[in-house]
Amino acid sequence: MNMKYFKLLFVSSISVMMFSCNDSNTPAENILEDSTSTSEITELQKSTVKIPSPIELFSFIYEANAKFNKENLNSTDNRAKYATNQKKAINLGIYASDLGYCTVFKQNKETFNYFSVTKKMADELGLTEGFDEKIVTRIDKNMSNSDSLYQISNDSYSTAIRFLEQQGQGNLLPLMITGAWIESVNIAIKSVDKFNADNEIVIRIADQGLLLENLLELYKSSGEDKNETELYNKLLDLQQSFDKLYDNTDEIITKKQFEEISSKVKAMRAELIG
């Protein structure tokens, strides 16, 4: 493995560990209710905080001067066709990711639209934290304040993740995070106009293999579920494509590797929103 890629993974590892303390400055060990002892914290809960909010990736894309593209989003009209809890959880993550994309790029009208659809889906899943009436009020009061909408969206996602952890809903948590992660990587890929191994966004996409490893560990910790096996296997197949980057000597990622990863991500995303 070349030194450039090693440095990339090292920096990524540090950023992931920093996020594990969570963005509200609450120590990771205090995320759970006070009644939960340290010994009762499951491996699932430990693994979850290693996966950053999609907003982190979108902030990087924004700083790299990428353009907002509404066509990258999952249409809010699709919400009605998600009938099963599995589909709802996955697309709750996707819509939450779209919400983050809109807020980072200061698209206030779309922020409200995607918050509304995300809240409806969260309500259907019984997710009472993160997208409740208090957040609705905050959104309504800050519709003209992009910075506030950014913080509200980030708070909503983080609170929803912690709520699922506390409730022990291990079957929904990996699905929601998968949806959010796939959507964020898909948007990042579509933000690349032309492949260049030195492009900042391309390098950040290559970096996503580390987060995918953590996501796969989350599935292992959550237990076996026949309805999730197919999705897990597709993530595992995608990880194999990311693993090829370790063999590079001159570049972090080649054009062929980028296209292979992009193809798999786009195919997964199309299936998840279908």
Residue 39 is predicted with a pLDDT of 35
116 within domain boundaries: yes
Q: For residue 138, what pLDDT band results from cuts at 50, 70 and 90?
A: low
- 195 within some domain: yes
The answer to whether position 82 is within a domain reads: yes
Q: Is residue 244 part of a domain?
A: yes
* Structure-model confidence comparison of residues 71 and 127, the more confident one: 71
Can you tell me the mean pLDDT for 144-157?
64
Helical axes 173-190 vs 146-167, angle rounded to 10°: 150
Q: What is the mean pLDDT of residues 252-274?
A: 97
pTM of the predicted model as reported, rounded to 2 decimal places: 0.76
Count the domains in the chain.
1
Residue 80 is classified by DSSP as G
The model's confidence at residue 34, banded by pLDDT at 50, 70 and 90, is: very low
Per-residue confidence (pLDDT) for residue 169, from 0 to 100: 55
- Asked if the structure places residue 26 within a domain, the reply is no
Confidence of residue 174 (pLDDT cuts 50, 70, 90): confident
Asked whether 157 and 130 are in contact (CB, 8 A), the reply is: yes
The model's pLDDT over 198-254, given as tens digits with 9 standing for 90+, comes to: 999 999 999 999 999 989 988 887 665 545 688 999 999 999 999 999 999 999 999
Q: How confident is the model at residue 102 (pLDDT cuts 50, 70, 90)?
A: very high
Domain that residue 244 falls in:
3-19+43-65+73-273
What average pLDDT does this structure show over 77-100? 93
In a domain, 8, yes or no: yes
Per the domain annotation, does 31 fall within a domain? no
Indicate whether 149 pLDDT > 70: no
149, 139 contact by CB (below 8 A): yes
How far is CA 243 from its chain centroid? Answer: 20
pLDDT at 185: 98
Q: Does 211 fall in a domain?
A: yes
Mean pLDDT, rounded, of the chain: 77
pLDDT digits (tens, 9 = 90+) for 53-80: 788 899 999 999 999 999 999 999 999 9
b/e per residue 69-105 (b: at least 16 CB within 10 A):
eeeebbebeebeebeebbbbbbbbbbbbbbbbbbbbb
Answer yes or no: are the C-beta atoms of 109 and 99 closer than 8 Å: no
Higher pLDDT, 85 or 10: 85
DSSP letter assigned to residue 68: P
| pLDDT surpassing 50 at residue 163 | yes
CA-to-CA distance for 164 and 173, rounded, in angstroms?
Answer: 6
What pLDDT score does 115 carry?
A: 85
**DSSP code, position 274:** -
Distance CA 50, CA 174 (A): 12
Q: Give me 73's structure tokens.
A: 């989003």
- pLDDT tens for residues 5-26? 333 333 333 333 323 333 433 3
Residue 193 pLDDT > 90: yes
